[in-house]
A and B are shown apart, each in its own frame.
Chain A
Amino acid sequence: MDPGFPVLSLLIFLPLLGVVLIALLPGKHTPTDWLVQNAPGNAVDYPKWIALGIALATLIISLVMFILFDRSAAGFQFVDEFDWISAEAVGFNVKYAFGVDGLSMPLVFLTAILSVVAVLVSWRVNLRTKEYFAWLLVLETSVLGVFTSLDLIMFFLFWELELVPMFLLISIWGSGNRNYSALKFVLYTVFGSAFMLVGFLALGVAADTFDIREIRHDAVAAAFLPAPAIFAFIMIAFAIKLPVVPVHTWLPDAHTDAPTAVSVLLAGVLLKMGGYGILRLLFTLMPDVGADADLALAIIGVVSIVYGAIVTIRQTDLKRLIAYSSVSHMGFVLLGVSALGVTGLSGAAMQLVTHGLITGMLFVMVGLVYDRTHTRQISDMSGLAHHIPLLGIGMVFAGLAGLGLPALAGFVAEITIFLGAFESQTAAVSVALTGVLLAAAYILWALQRTFFGPKDDNWAHLPDANHWSEFTIIAGLMALIVLLGVYPSVVMDLLEMGVEPIVESIETVVSAGAGGG
């Protein structure tokens, strides 16, 4: 699909345009300005309307791209590229190159959806709103950039760009021990990306290009570093981001102390950057090493699934509980990848999408509940469903989707992963199944303690969902989760298309290895 104009650049940089608009237009406390006087609501409203407009515009663009996406053509579409840095004499060339394929298209769409959700869920933020919405939009640009970059250096650039908004969003608008959590998040990520950069440079030097489409795995063999070392270096960054046990400890802190919108984006799309990176970079560029590492990946995945689930059960803070459940759910991604087949890989990719929607929704619900109760302690809540039934419905729905109820999105992803991995990783799948059981346990138990149980009249004054922004989010996310549950192929087809070339190259190297040895 060649649109004839740089639609991807437009998509990625539109949020930055929003940042400029927010920065230039008057913020609060300028009542003499007619623009502000005539703005909907009061002066403070201004930035959030811009942010919403921009987020909706990116959503529309990505929706149009999603529809126009050619489902019969392999490879990258909407490609938009030119040489950015060309220092031929010294061999340092970086391309400005964006493109989407079956793997990244759904993730781009997911990012656009959750950005709208993030803006809507922040509707009641009233602290330094100009900066807040500006940073949210910067975050959207950086995530979109990661999912669409076709050049390793560009990928790295956007990967790093996300740090500054996250650091400020958590430490200014967060709660609890927010400074600690923000710095922990930054340091963990920088630690990972330090190794990732070295890995990228080793790849780039060996292949003499940073273009993802041009690096061939046989070129990697000529690198100064052995290919498994490069794989491990880059894997460190993705493992931290995903996250997997034992490098997951930044996640509960960051999630718990972040504002709701940031938790939604963090769980919904930022974690996906790790899973996307594993598929797009590690398995595409180094399928041979990836194929050798299948058992290790399966073991790490299963440990994350089971350990994450056990730790989740023990949580007393509702938001922290959801955060830990992400560790468990992201373990499924690694398990699916370790299957090395189309089913397993597309299941892993599907898990990225569905978990983004479901956990995004769970964080929205927890955020809305917290706005009302001002506590997240499970023991403080009881029988909330009596007082806030609509939020109760949303929470129960998201919870059931999270535990993998059939006909909802989560089920599709998990069953595909199990189907894909069962043959090659039977033992791992058997152990991982306990994770599903534990997921049912922690979600149902948490729901029972908070929304059901004896009615507590302390909470009688709580207002139920009452604002149009809240209805929009809840209804929209519910509809998407049901859609993906009953008609998964709308996304699944794309993802299969995206992982097919990866699986082909894995099969080629595996059969070559078998033939040669």
Chain B
Amino acid sequence: MLSDVNLLGPELVLLVVGAFLLIADLFLKDRRLLMGIAAAALLGSILYSAILLTEGHMGSQGFGGVLVVDKFAVFFQILLAGAALAAVLVSTETLQRTPSRRGEYLALILFSTAGLQLLAGSRDLIMIFIALELTSISQYILVGFHKDRWSSEGGLKYLLTGAIASAVLLYGMVILLGLTGSTNLSEIAQYIAWQGEGKEEALILAATFLIAGFGFKAAVAPFQMWAPDAYTGAPTPIAAYLSVASKAAAFAILIRVFFEAFSDDLLADHWKTIFAVLATISMFVGNFFAIRQNNIKRMLAYSSVAQAGTLLIGLAAISADRSELLGASGILFYLAGYTVTNLAAFTVIVLVANQNGGSYDLKSYRGLGTRSPWLAIVLAFALISLIGLPPTAVFFGKIYLFETAVQSGLTWLAVVGAANTLISAAYYLRPVKAMFIDDAETEASDEVMVRPANSVIATMGLVTAGVLVIGLHPGLLINAAEAAVAAIFS
């Protein structure tokens, strides 16, 4: 039993420190100290995952097969804790605005991260549901954290649509339980292999419900309605966190469920169709709506919908041809590249909003290239990465995912994806144009330049370096992603 607890280490660190922060808030008033504790907890979690990896715990199952610690789970644990760390470190402004609720804010980020990490290691439907609720409820509060009009609206929308998504997910799980008599992924897989014949319709119905539930978290169209409002209303670091961490964990569990439980040949063709259609819808919906946005957070919300569509290409590809690891490792690679890229973009957005009194309008980016050249260069670099131009992380992510599509015979999907790159260039270049080409409306001189906190600068430097390093030397991350997916597909 103790060894089981050991396997839960990365999450436990976060939960315990999170609980401590809730209380510590009463007597610790120093913002830096509280942030430091939260950051230390996340670093501790990353370290714990690394220790589990090196000490040979890979593949161990805990708590009666409910949880597993494999390279796949560890990959995501580290990615998620890293994303949360970045979100914490850029939250200085948010914490200054809400002096009385600092502990709460940080604790909720830790709880939410623990929930997402659990999701990546879950092998049981009940565990999946609990993990998802742990993270969702924390996120509902975080989105509405500022309690102003937009924040509350975003939080409430997220809560209401999220409740429906949870209900739908639960229906799917209940149908699955009724059919197979088990909530364990491997037992479900066994049932489908032995007795699944003739029950395809019911299985597909259940799986569709699951896709809807997970797709909600990943902001896949048509389950994306919450994203624009939640991103706009949420404190910007939380928007950054939602856009990368939720998406990553949702894709982790999609890969796990569909290729541990539903990987039978009986059904694979249906998944291919479903994922390919969803990918197409997401890419087009996300990109077309993003073109019209003048608020950069809203634009990135729709962009994240489109990016979820691109990631689904990988899922469609593995469904089409499960002998290849390429699709799944492509998703992991792309997720990691997208995570650092989006975090870089959002860090700049946080800093720009701090400078100009909280404006996210594209107009406020005019002339940024002369006012703050470094911020403008980082944001431009992140946007270029999001388009998928070299030498950046997403450039290789796209090539990698499109190759999986071509390799598994879904060339049309690669064409759709590539065509969407074109549409996305039209809006990702708008802030670049505003920063470097349009003249500033207001003179730079009458703005008081606030010196950004060191933690924000450091985060910006790290994630930007991440985008560049992955773009120049993708081999390392590709190998890590391969090793991670080998844990599931072996």
Residue-wise, chain B 311-332 has the 8 Å CB interface mask toward A (1 for contact) of: 0000000000000111001000
B406 touches A224 (CB 8 A): yes
Selecting from A29-37, A193-201, A246-254, A407-415, the interface stretch reads: A193-201
- The answer to whether the Cβ of A425 comes within 8 Å of any Cβ in the partner chain is no
Stretch at the interface among A70-78, A81-89, A356-364, A486-494: A81-89
A202 within 8 A of B: yes
Q: Which stretch in A59-67, A103-111, A161-169, A307-315 binds the other chain?
A: A161-169
Do the beta carbons of B395 and A92 come within 8 Å of each other? no
Count of A residues near B, CB < 8 Å? 37
Chain A contacts for B396, CB-based, 8 A? 85
Known contacts being A191-B422, A197-B399, A201-B402, is A89 close to B482, with CB within 8 Å? yes
* Whole-angstrom CA separation of A168 from B390 in the bound complex: 16
Q: Which residues of A contact B418 (CB under 8 A)?
A: 194-195, 197-198
Interface residues of A in 181-218 (CB under 8 A from B): 183, 186-187, 190-191, 194-195, 197-198, 201-202, 204-205
B402 touches A197 (CB 8 A): yes
Q: Does A172 contact B (CB under 8 A)?
A: yes
A183, B411: Cβ atoms closer than 8 Å: no
| CB-CB under 8 A for A87 and B421, given A160-B395, A197-B402 | no
A225 at the binding interface (Cβ < 8 Å): yes
Q: Does A424 interact with chain B (Cβ within 8 Å)?
A: no
Contact B411 A190 (CB under 8 A): no
Q: Is the CB of B425 within 8 A of A92?
A: no
The reply to whether B406 and A201 form a contact with Cβ atoms under 8 Å apart is yes
Please tell me if A129 contacts chain B, counting CB pairs below 8 Å: no
Interface assignment of B26: CB less than 8 Å from any CB of chain A? no
Given contacts A90-B325, A157-B391, contact A225 B399 (CB under 8 A): no
Stretch at the interface among B137-145, B208-216, B292-300, B429-437: B429-437
Q: Are B436 and A168 in contact (CB under 8 A)?
A: yes
B451 to chain A, nearest CB (A): 22
Please give, as numbers and ranges, the residues of chain A lying within 8 Å of B411 by CB-CB distance: 198, 202, 224-225
Cα distance A205–B407 when bound, in Å?
Answer: 6
The one of A90, A158, A161, A171 that contacts B482, using a Cβ cutoff of 8 Å: A90
Q: Among the listed B387, B414, B419, B433, which residue makes an inter-chain contact with A201, where contact means beta carbons less than 8 Å apart?
A: B414
Interface membership of A176, Cβ < 8 A? no
> What's the interface size class on B, roughly?
35 or more
Residues of B within 8 A of A505 (CB): none
Contacts of A179 in B (CB 8 A): 433, 437
- A501 to B479, alpha carbons, bound, how many Å? 37
Please name the residue on chain A nearest to B405 by beta carbon.
A201
List CB contacts (< 8 Å) of B385-411 with chain A: 387, 389-391, 395-396, 398-400, 402-403, 406-407, 409, 411
Are B402 and A198 closer than 8 Å at their CB atoms? Answer: yes
Give the chain B neighbours of A160 by CB distance below 8 A: 389-390, 395
Q: Min CB distance, B162 to chain A, in Å? A: 35
B426 at the interface (CB under 8 A from A): yes
In the bound complex, what is the Cα–Cα distance between A87 and B432 (angstroms)? 34
- Any B CB within 8 A of the CB of A6: no
- Out of B325, B403, B425, B486, name the residue touching A190 (CB < 8 Å): B425
Task: Out of B384, B403, B426, name the residue touching A92 (CB < 8 Å).
Answer: B403
Contacts of B329 in A (CB 8 A): 87, 90
Asked if B415 is an interface residue, CB under 8 A from chain A, the answer is yes
Residues of B contacting A167 with CB < 8 Å? 429, 432
Q: Judge whether B324 and A90 touch: CB under 8 Å.
A: yes
Say yes or no for B478: interface residue by CB 8 A criterion.
yes
Using an 8 Å CB-CB cutoff, how does the interface string of A214-229 with B read, 1 for contact, 0 for none? 0000000000110000
In contact, B422 and A194 (Cβ under 8 angstroms)? yes
In whole angstroms, how far apart are the Cα atoms of A473 and B253 in the complex?
62
The answer to the question of A50 belonging to the interface, with a C-beta cut-off of 8 Å to chain B, is no
Interface set of A (CB-CB < 8 Å, partner B): 84-87, 89-92, 131, 153, 156-158, 160-161, 163-164, 167-168, 171-172, 179, 183, 186-187, 190-191, 194-195, 197-198, 201-202, 204-205, 224-225
Instruction: Give 17 A-B contacts (CB < 8 Å), ordered by A residue.
Output: A85-B478, A89-B486, A90-B478, A92-B403, A131-B436, A160-B390, A161-B390, A167-B432, A168-B432, A171-B437, A187-B426, A190-B421, A195-B415, A197-B418, A205-B407, A224-B409, A225-B411
- Not counting A87-B479, A161-B391, A197-B399, a sample of 6 additional A-B residue pairs whose C-beta atoms are within 8 angstroms of each other reads A90-B482, A91-B324, A92-B403, A179-B437, A201-B403, A204-B403
